[in-house]
Structure 1
Amino acid sequence: MRWTSALAIYVLFWAFSVFLVLPFGVRTTREVGGETVPGQSESAPHDFHAGRVAWRVTIVATTLFVLFQLNYAYGWITPQMFDLFDTRDMVRR
């Protein structure tokens, strides 16, 4: 795999990991015991740390990408393992 393809796949893993990581570790203003501002959503985070979230997303994305690369290199899971209808016979005809 070319490095540009690997970089593009890593960026996709990173963007997907944002949605996995964002809900964890969030405390609302009510949970902290603070006062809400008029018009503020009750589910809004009390204090958002973008750097901490980016660090967590990078760790998750890197872990998933390494597993993807290892699977790509060693072929642990292949598309043929999910061939439920045995389409190999259809291709030979």
Structure 2
Amino acid sequence: MSSYTVTVGEKSVKARSIQEAQRIVMEGITELLALDPEGAAQGALMANKAFSVGTVDHAVDTHGSWQTVITVQGEQVKISITKRRWWP
């Protein structure tokens, strides 16, 4: 069984599934878009596409993590999902 750590900027949250991790990432991106719609738009589109085409799932399964950076008000905000294994 696995869990995930989702980081958006300085904030980290635990998720129980990759779907929950995706929801947390998208909520974080929505907040970033509210701060700087023009600046964050391209990064938001790229992250959305990465989820929809399976890039995120593949990276997390293969490498144990996925990350991207979105620029907001001239600052780079790191977004990542890291897989944590639970051993029964």
TM-score, length of structure 2 as denominator length = 0.33
**Larger % of helix: which?**
1
- Greater relative contact order (CA < 8 Å, ≥ 6 in sequence): 2
**Larger % of strand: which?**
2
